[in-house]
Chains A and B, each alone.
With several copies, the nearest count.
Chain A
Amino acid sequence: MINRSVKNAEEAIAGITDNMTLLVGGFGLCGIPENCINALVQSGVKGLTCISNNAGVDDFGLGLLLQNKQIKKMISSYVGENAEFERQMLSGELEVELIPQGTLATRALAAGYGMPVIYTPAGVGTEVAAGKEVRNFNGKDYLMEYAFDADFAIVKAWKGDTTGNLVFRHTARNFNPLMAMAGKITIAEVEELVEPGQLDPDHIHTPGIYVHRIFKGQVFEKRIEQRTVIKR
């Protein structure tokens, strides 16, 4: 079997240089590639365009890259809970493109499935439709949206094997399998890295063909953004 494992986050992010476009998995702080983000902070790479549903919080996730002014542009569906983000956006330092969440997911799917565009009704008649082709099928209007075209994808999985197969846990799946499919080069960090044959072939969410580098993350903080509980 093909071995796609690398030593650590530093080795995994090799080749990510200034002004590149990155697809980043995760929803809120759930299932984000913490180790890759930390390594990118260390690397000092600048001018990044990040395609990610959210932008982290001030001191965690993509917020760390924002604090460090390494991000030029965010393409996201929702970017609340981040004061530094707000400051950079309002001052014009940070470019922000807001797109519907389903459009974000499906543009990644399209890239992974080799489909140049998809049509979605989301955003028809709104400012999201500005400059886009609108086309009517069966009496309903749809926007034409392009597949993402990004240099790298960084994703986080629960388990992976050295051939790059990935398994996600609960809602930490979210955008991760989609971003993984959409990257020209895809980097996966996992909580548990196993040998080929230890994952059930029927349970693999992302086949290794979509994953170019895989490593066991050193630390997973897995911070909870909204701890909502019922008292015992």
Chain B
Amino acid sequence: MLDKNGIAKRIAREVQDGYYVNLGIGIPTLVANYIPEGMHVVLQSENGILGMGPFPVEGTEDADLINAGKQTVTLLPGSSIFDSAMSFGMIRSQKVNLTILGAMEVSEFGDIANWKIPGKMVKGMGGAMDLVASAKNIIVAMQHVNKAGESKLLPKCELPITGLRCVKKIVTELAVLDVLPQGGFKLLERAPGVSVEQIVKATAGKLIVEGDIPEMVL
């Protein structure tokens, strides 16, 4: 079973040299910590940065320099700043290679719900609907089951959806799964110490298990 950092570490292996990557809030943000040295990756923050760097050293933080999570950040050499129309322009025109974000639910067709729980205060979708509608490669980082122990990998999303048929891959504390175009979660890897049976039990949507499922390498 993986912790949050383990999920982030596993997702980092999906990042390729030369990628422009947009990281959502939460576990996705941690992925930046596990991108191998020497791999050239540029982080996009949808409020208007390419080439986002780490948090600033105490005392150097700048109110004019924040990320999409409103956290103070830094700029790396080669970075650029642009307005929000251009930022979503490059997202919409699929120049960003990989989008990693969290989810409350994912359906076996790749629908995602991650912005609204009926009856609770709704804060808004921010840039999530734009990202999921546009990105060609979306990986979801999330827990396999919710706090009530119910699966978040469902035949159909029950919460209001954020986008249709967009999630390509899911990494949870238990497994790595592809979402197949024709529907279904194809099990690719088990987390260390996790059995296929555990994953079957935790997955409410159609799970496809073919042959031996290797344990993931981190």
Contacts and interface: CB of A to CB of B under 8 A. Distances in A.
Interface string B29-67: 000000000001110111111110011111111111111
A47 interface: no
A196 B77 contact: yes
A77 B94 CA distance: 21
A204 B124 contact: no
A114 B93 contact: yes
Contacts of A27: 47-48, 66, 70, 84
A173 B82 contact: yes
Interface stretch (A6-14, A16-24, A65-73, A162-170): A162-170
Nearest to A82: B123
Contact of B70 (A28, A113, A161): A28
Contacts, number: 244
A223 to B, nearest CB: 7
A122 B163 CA distance: 8
A120 B7 CA distance: 32
Contact of B78 (A78, A106, A163): A163
A208 interface: yes
Given A77-B127, A176-B83, A195-B77, A124 B64 contact: no
A102 B88 contact: yes
A78 B114 CA distance: 13
B189 to A, nearest CB: 28
Question: Interface residues of A: mostly helix, strand, loop or mixed?
Answer: loop
Contacts of B72: 224, 226-229
Interface residues of B, number: 72
Contact of B134 (A114, A127, A172, A205): A114
Given A114-B89, A125-B164, A204 B127 contact: no
Contacts of A204: 80-82
A126 interface: yes
A219 interface: no
Contacts of A109: 85
A100 interface: yes
B70 A102 contact: no
B55 to A, nearest CB: 5
Contacts of B18: 2
A226 B63 CA distance: 10
A105 B124 contact: no
B164 A28 contact: no
A25 to B, nearest CB: 10
A5 B202 CA distance: 48
A230 B54 contact: yes
Contacts of A139: none
Contact of A114 (B48, B81, B91, B160): B91
B88 A101 contact: yes
Interface in B110-154: 111, 121-130, 133-134
Interface of B: 18, 20, 40-42, 44-51, 54-67, 69-73, 75-96, 111, 121-130, 133-134, 160-164
